[in-house]
Amino acid sequence: MSDVSAPRVAVVGGGLAGLVCAAELRDRGVDADVFEATGRAGGVVHTIAEGGYQIEWGPQSFLWEAGSSLDRWIQRLRLGVLPPADAARARYVLKDGRLLNLPRELPKLLGPLGLLRASREALGRARVDPTQSVDAFFRARLGPRVADRLLDAFVTGIWAGDPARLELGSAFPRLTAKVESSRSVLRAFFGGGGARRRTASFVGGMEDLPEALAEHLGPAVKLEHRVQSLLPPGSDDRWVLRTADGEAHVARAVVLATSAHVAGTLLAPHDPALGELLAAQPTAPLATVTLGYRSGAFPEGPPEGFGFLAPEQEQSFVLGCLFPSSLFPLTAPSGCVQLRCMVGGRRHPERVEKGDAELVAGCHTALEPLLGITRAPVTWRVDRHREGIPQYELGHATRLRAIDERLRGHPGLRLTGNSYRGISVPDVVADAERVAIALAGSLTA
């Protein structure tokens, strides 16, 4: 076996989670290398320049909160944060084929009965069962109109998921904790408190973040190093990782910062029960369809705002559509408009496999009447996220506890990434940092 390198920690996966984890380890004096399968660091965070457009492959933006782990990394890496244009505050929800502006048109969305039913909620005292479904909780507390017309859209926007399957406490831990303490969903939403979070991107697009992390890590990031197998420590206390080129690498500790599925495949030969727990993680595949239009295609003016979401009962081809060039004007050439549709998700995974032409036509047809578009797009791009968004469905918290239990039998093995404790960019960064701090503590103790 060629002992090519012997980092103390091998981080598998060079997405945001792996990069942050390795950077935190190294900043704490622990030697760590990142093994990334592809030729680029950043995973789903990827900004593409094409035909004068700046197109995001994964996240369009993030929620920026002062004092968060992500905020600390932004300061450490001296990243230029880009706030959205003022016009982009407007958010819309589709109802009966029309876009309603929220919160202004909330009464129209819910109707008088829906509003009355929801407002009664603040009079009661909510008991929260974090293991119930998101839909069951909101339906019982705020009524069917809120559940079907508002919550469904909100869940689609974040999870591309099914509210009847997502687990309340795992999918929305902050909100669950706030409802637990204020005893009301409405008081939790409108009662103030909690840190202010603002939508933002970076000056050069979302990829500024992984690029800066990769630069900070330098040669510790090993691209095109797909880890194909892992051998747990024998008597010499060392893990052996074998990469696709047949090379073996040794490490004292391993962090798997890949999806749970990949982690499960690597671990199954040595711990089938752990492999099975990891493989059981459901995901929602998603296609993003980016359309470029000339401004003249919108006789009433290009859409302004963050975008719109479509609740399931609207039976729209798209889950929602972002308005990137309203949010961040430099994402489209002058005189052009960029729109970015989400298609598929947990409830319509088959749509992700449709051909490019069908996806583009389906999105354009869905948008035409809603946004008053009179001409076809002049350019488009289809991206398929087959691994998609991990879904924290009923039983997620129990499964995580079982995974943690099995990990106790593998000292020196850690898991991080969006499969476990949060899918958003800030949550992924926070979890990776937490895992690195704990591991550094155990290695240097």
Ligand X SMILES: Cc1cc2nc3c(=O)[nH]c(=O)nc-3n(C[C@H](O)[C@H](O)[C@H](O)COP(=O)(O)OP(=O)(O)OC[C@H]3O[C@@H](n4cnc5c(N)ncnc54)[C@H](O)[C@@H]3O)c2cc1C
Binding site for ligand X (CB under 6 A): 12-18, 35-38, 43-45, 58-62, 226-227, 257-259, 262, 286, 288, 385, 389, 417-418, 423-425, 428
Alpha-carbon Rg of the chain, whole angstroms?
23
Question: Based on CB atoms, which residue is closest to ligand X, 61 or 176?
Answer: 61
For residue 72, what is the enclosing H or E element? helix 69-76
CB of 26 to ligand X, least distance (A): 17
Question: What sign does the dihedral 345-423-62-77 (CA atoms) show?
Answer: negative
Question: Based on CB atoms, which residue is closest to ligand X, 288 or 326?
Answer: 288
CB of 262 to ligand X, least distance (A): 4
Question: Based on CB atoms, which residue is closest to ligand X, 158 or 397?
Answer: 158
Strand order of the sheet with strand 197-202?
Answer: 62-65, 197-202, 81-82
Burial grade of 430 (CB within 10 A; 0-12, 13-18, 19 or more): buried
Closest to 380 (Cα-Cα) out of 428, 422, 332: 332
CB of 301 to ligand X, least distance (A): 25
Burial grade of 219 (CB within 10 A; 0-12, 13-18, 19 or more): exposed
CB of 394 to ligand X, least distance (A): 20
Question: Based on CB atoms, which residue is closest to ligand X, 302 or 344?
Answer: 344
Look up residue 284 and give its two tokens.
Answer: 């929602």
CB of 299 to ligand X, least distance (A): 30
Question: Based on CB atoms, which residue is closest to ligand X, 55 or 370?
Answer: 55
Phi and psi dihedrals of 355, rounded to 5? Answer: -65, 160
d(CA 24, CA 433): 6
Question: Based on CB atoms, which residue is closest to ligand X, 110 or 423?
Answer: 423
Q: Is 198 helix (H, G, I), strand (E, B) or coil?
A: strand
CB of 57 to ligand X, least distance (A): 7
